[in-house]
Amino acid sequence: MSVWYPAPRVAGVLPAAYFDKPIAERCDFWTSVFVAMGCSFTNVAPHLFSYAAPEMPVAANGDPFPVILYSHGGTLLRADNIHKAQELASHGFIVVAPDHLDTLMSVFPDGTTVFGGITPNQILSNPGFYFESRLRDVDVVLQELERLNQTDPLLSGTMDLANIGALGWSLGGGTSAETCRTNAQVKAAVLLDAFLLRSPTSINPACRSRS
């Protein structure tokens, strides 16, 4: 799980890498993604930097920040829309992005790397299984945010968990829509090219979405 948040400017602090090193150096991934477009990204990804500085204190403005849950595209990465997460953080949101079961790979803080290995065809042949797995992920993340907001040295007291929204791309868009539909704690959803698996049978009256 990655978290982007508002932070004060500090001179001399360099920005974080755009991708975790094991992901940036995963040549087969970048080749498979970009070869169809007639170009290669394998010599570029390891050198990209983000607009976020690592491990900075959370900006203090006297009030907790609203939270956005980001759900990544199928078989991709929690960093697949990192630029949007950073833009939202710059406007006063805390953005939380977990890796789902179908992620390409997960890199943990100690450098441990876990490869997913799930293909788009596997998802398309049994979308309900992966969709339900993602919804359970969101439930776990919401519980974890409650804990972090109480006890985490960096994030304690910084999150307004009464004001949570969801943002998702592709399969993540469907995840965000269904989360908003079924969970009253999530007040709004923004869907980016959403893959919608099911039609809602009831609507959370607190939820409003825009595609």
What is the domain range of residue 37? 17-51
Domain count for the chain, please give it.
2
Single-letter code of the amino acid located at 85 = A
Confidence of residue 201 (pLDDT cuts 50, 70, 90): very low
Could you tell me if 191 and 209 are in contact, meaning their C-beta atoms sit under 8 angstroms apart? yes
Could you tell me if 207 and 176 are in contact, meaning their C-beta atoms sit under 8 angstroms apart? no
Strands 65-71 and 159-169: parallel
Is 33 a residue whose pLDDT tops 60? no
Identify the three-state secondary structure at position 145: helix
Average pLDDT of the chain?
87
**Does 139 lie in the same domain as 44?**
no
Confidence of residue 34 (pLDDT cuts 50, 70, 90): low
Strands 105-107 and 65-71: unpaired
pLDDT by residue (tens digit) across 64-85? 999 999 999 999 999 989 999 9
**Does 110 lie in the same domain as 43?**
no
Confidence of residue 200 (pLDDT cuts 50, 70, 90): very low
The confidence score (pLDDT) of residue 203 equals 44
pTM (two decimals): 0.87
**Higher confidence at residue 89 or residue 196?**
89
**Does 66 lie in the same domain as 47?**
no
> Percentage of the chain surpassing pLDDT 90?
59
Q: Name the DSSP class of 198.
A: S
Taking the C-alpha atoms of residue 64 and residue 74, their distance in angstroms, rounded to an integer, is 31
The pair of three-digit structure tokens given for residue 69, joined into one six-digit string:
């849950």
**Does 39 lie in the same domain as 94?**
no
Residues in CB range of 131: below 8 A, 6 or more apart: 171, 174, 175, 178, 197
pLDDT by residue (tens digit) across 137-189? 999 999 999 999 999 999 999 999 999 999 999 999 999 999 999 999 999 99
The pair of three-digit structure tokens given for residue 149, joined into one six-digit string:
């907001």
CATH of the domain at 136: 3.40.50.1820
**Does 129 lie in the same domain as 34?**
no
Report CA-CA distances (Å) from 167 to 26, 38, 132, 177, 196.
26, 30, 17, 8, 14
Strands 208-210 and 186-192: parallel
Could you tell me if 139 and 182 are in contact, meaning their C-beta atoms sit under 8 angstroms apart? no
Nearest CA among 58, 66, 94, 88 for reference residue 160: 66
Confidence of residue 47 (pLDDT cuts 50, 70, 90): confident
